[in-house]
Structure 1
Amino acid sequence: MSKDASALFTPFRIGDLTLPNRLAMAPLTRNRATPGTDAPNPLNVEYYTQRASAGLIISEATQISRQGQGYIWTPGLYTDAQIAGWRNVTNAVHGAGGHIFVQLWHVGRISHVSLQENGAAPVAPSAITAKSKTYIETGFVETSAPRALDAGELPGIVADYVRAAENAQRAGFDGIELHGANGYLIDQFLKDGTNQRTDSYGGSVENRARLALEVVDAVAKVYPKGRLGIRLSPVSPANDAVTSDPEAVFGYLVAELAKRGIGFIHVVEGATGGPRDNVAFDYQALRKAFPGAYIANNGYTRDLAIDAIEAGRADAIAFGKAFIANPDLPERLRRDAPLNEVERATLYGGTDKGYTDYPALSEAAE
């Protein structure tokens, strides 16, 4: 007999926003923004609108600047065309009764010279090349060697986050998630495997967390702090970013975030897209230290999600691949209906195939 899923369908709050269920659509890079402008287009509008029954949609990672881009055909939020494209998305999602936050992103070293202005080197806390790949017009390639950011450049990056947050307001987003996970720029500063600086942004836990907190403080002056969150991946080895001291780093960071009163933390538990138990880590310590909402992510099934919500281990559960393949995922989980399988060949780039053509239950029945 299947478990009762009613716990997933009680309202919960992020700041002053009441969300109708505890199912979040995780941020999912799909590389289908408009070539040349990186602006969202009508296909993206359809994709997000199909998934508006999520309690909260967190948009695909959206670069705050040209320098912040690491993959081809990912959307930005730094030009008028991009703002207008996103406004079409948010209007449609709101029209369908949904809520949508934008995930703001700077990839740091996970980029390629072909994506950077004038073929420049990507930037990073330290000049250490990632053992990772990125996606360009010809397909997957090794990431380019980065250069270390000068401390004097960091206020400009913080200003790019602020500008993107202001643009998010213009585009009609309900809130913001900062991408502090999966080996991108903020995470690169947090982790000692990628940050070997000797200035005030490197060395101690407090120094490595400095950029993350500066970005949070700056963006919280633009959006109500209750509508602001951050995604973290304490022990994920994604994009070759690891740290020797995850409990210390993320314990300190979450305590500081708690003092600031932001709305949520969104935690990748385990290895992104991989095992949940790759490194022992006390996620409930973060949950207990943080008074806002705790969104849990990575490898959750229907039963695991129900158990986590019923036990109070999380306020909401974010699903990724399941939302790609099942636009009506909440209804399927409510009914314990079978799920469509993800087509891996169509995850990145392409057309409506494997993007907006996954059937809902009603279409599958027909």
Structure 2
Amino acid sequence: MASSLLCATKGRWIVPFHRAVRTRRWRALTFFNLHTTAGNMQASQENFEKAQHNLKLLKKDPGNDVKLKLYALFKQATQGPCNTTKPGMLDFVNKAKWDAWNSLGNLSKENSRQSYIELVSSLASSESSISDKTMSSNNQQKFETLQLLREDNITKIILSRPEKKNAINMLMYQEIGHALEEAGKDESTITVLTGLGDYFCSGNDLNNFANVSPDGKEKMASDAAVILEAFVGKIIDFPKPLIAVVNGPAVGISVTMLGLFDIVYATERATFHTPFSQLGQSPEGCSSYTFPRIMGLAKATEMLLFNKMLTAPKACELGLVTEVFPDGTFQREVWTRLKAYAQLPKNSLAYSKQLIRETEKEKLHAVNVQECERLKERWLSEECMTAIINFFQSKAKL
């Protein structure tokens, strides 16, 4: 089926793929940061077959990037290194599949099996936490763009637009704000923000700026600035330990706000990118203040002005990320640690955070206001509008 991607699990998913190729998802095929140990190499055939079975039971489509990973690992585990002829440039689907498989190089069948098993396990774990571990019906609030869950003294805010790489639209800004308000008042000890799927968050959904009439530009910019200022303000004022679990690439606001979090844990395949200058915009999330304090003026300038992307290890080295974990064991290691944190005395943690953060709150709020005012100017500028139009035009050509 030329226009579809068939995941190598006996036809569980057959979904249109041409759109994903046209939106450059295939470029993410150099994604494999595979962590192996002696124990991993002993992955049994039985567990491998069980993982294939469990994959069929998933209810939610994990997205084409993940399905390409699964396809490549399955082929590598069953046939070894890629040994077929590379498809032609116009055969987009089969070329993407071939590239994914070929990118694994000489990875052994044993390690491929183990990575396949761990990836399926993480998908199943994520899905089960969303479907089975919901908040009580009396307190549960319905959200369209995220999941709000409470278990083990942890409130989880899960960005849930995986088909859009968890890009933040105006509704998501407001819903995250509501979720933070609720989490700040509930009985949990800590609050965690993470993403569903392969991305942590791809930043602002640029469709926020699409289809705005010339007469409506000023109102759009004013409304967006108010929403953004309120969103960042809620993070500044959040009373409990706030932890980011960065499960994949992060872009824009999802990077800049990390300077306001108490802990940031990241998988080794995460990247951190703030391409503001490319889009004729300016920094937000208090990053114009927090980033120079965290990583030094020169490194912050390179990132915020000149669009430098950081790998997870580099972000950790510079202090933006607290710790980096192997992708294959990321979810298990991080949540084990967070569950232990959540057993600590709740009030002690809250009061200690207050002592650490209180002295800078006034400054952070002032920076937030200043950044949003500057962004409002930028959104109304011809330079910004031209950059956004060029972005959509270049995207349409793919």
TM over 0.5: no
Q: Which is strand-richer, 1 or 2?
A: 1
TM-score with structure 1 length normalisation?
A: 0.29
Identify the structure with bigger relative contact order (alpha carbons < 8 Å, sequence gap 6+): 1
Structure showing greater radius of gyration is 2
Normalising by structure 2, we get a TM-score of 0.28
Higher helix share: 2
